[in-house]
Amino acid sequence: MNRKIWWTDWGLTPYKEALERQHRLFDRIKEIKIKNRRENSNIPTPNYFVFTAHPHVYTLGKSGKEEHLLLPVEMLNQKGVEFIHTDRGGDITYHGPGQIVGYPIMDLDNFGIDIIRYIRLLEEVIIRVLADYGIAGERSPGETGVWVEAGTPRARKICAIGVRTSRWVTMHGFALNVLTDLRYFDYIIPCGIRNKGVTSMEKELGFRPNIEEVKANILEKFARVFHADMQFILPGDLEKI
């Protein structure tokens, strides 16, 4: 099993462009797995991890409902916000500057885990990162993602998670609100969950954490939780692996 994960940072990237780039990596891993099965070969499958952030955009997952978007698309466009249907699981969410978006594009067979375990491990990574800042991140039964004060009337989501898998290969991932302008969540029912709030690290801490430091912390925790070897690569070289 190949536990090396090549990671890079795409910076601020339009959502559709990032989705296309993800698909190329995703399809590459699947093609190798299909070839291995067809030819009874054992070519190692690569694993990738991409940091990015997106300009203001609402994305609706395969199981989402358009009525969870609370403003007409025309009005969103006037505000400079895109609305995009996407192929991940989950309902509607917001992406924008000040978020850390992480896209692990990995072969779960390399890590000996199934999709449910994978999602729980993603949550664990974020919970451990938040703990380093004194934020008590929690799981909320039946609701994917990481929450603050879950199970109370003050429950609020700090990290959304939505993934897609095919042949045990993953794409999409998590969006951690760090310096996020939370007003954009007022225009949707986040993740289709009513009567619960959304928060950010900045709001919980009362100061602006350094995004690059948070990313470094995520990489450290990701390596530990997944027992992985994280190796940096320049963005332009990622698709050559």
**Domain positions in the chain:** 4-240
Q: 21 falls in which pLDDT band (50, 70, 90)? A: very high
Q: Residue 193: what pLDDT?
A: 65
Alpha carbons 51 and 230: distance in angstroms, whole number: 13
Q: Residue 177: what pLDDT?
A: 98
Q: 37 falls in which pLDDT band (50, 70, 90)? A: very high
Q: Residue 79: what pLDDT?
A: 82
Catalytic pick from 101, 161, 179, 191? 191
Q: Residue 182: what pLDDT?
A: 95
- Parallel, antiparallel, or unpaired for β 169-177 and 82-85? unpaired
Phi, psi of 203, rounded to the nearest 5 degrees: -65, -40
Q: What is the mean pLDDT of the chain?
A: 94
Alpha carbons 37 and 193: distance in angstroms, whole number: 41
- Is the per-residue pLDDT at 183 higher than 80? yes
The reply to whether 191 belongs to the active site is yes
For the domain made up of 4-240, give the CATH fold: BirA Bifunctional Protein; domain 2 (3.30.930)
What are the start-end ranges of the E strands in the chain? 4-12, 48-53, 57-60, 82-85, 92-95, 99-105, 137-140, 143-148, 156-166, 169-177, 197-198, 229-232
| Collapsed DSSP state (helix, strand, coil) of residue 138 | strand
Counting residues of the chain whose pLDDT is more than 90, the rounded percentage is 80
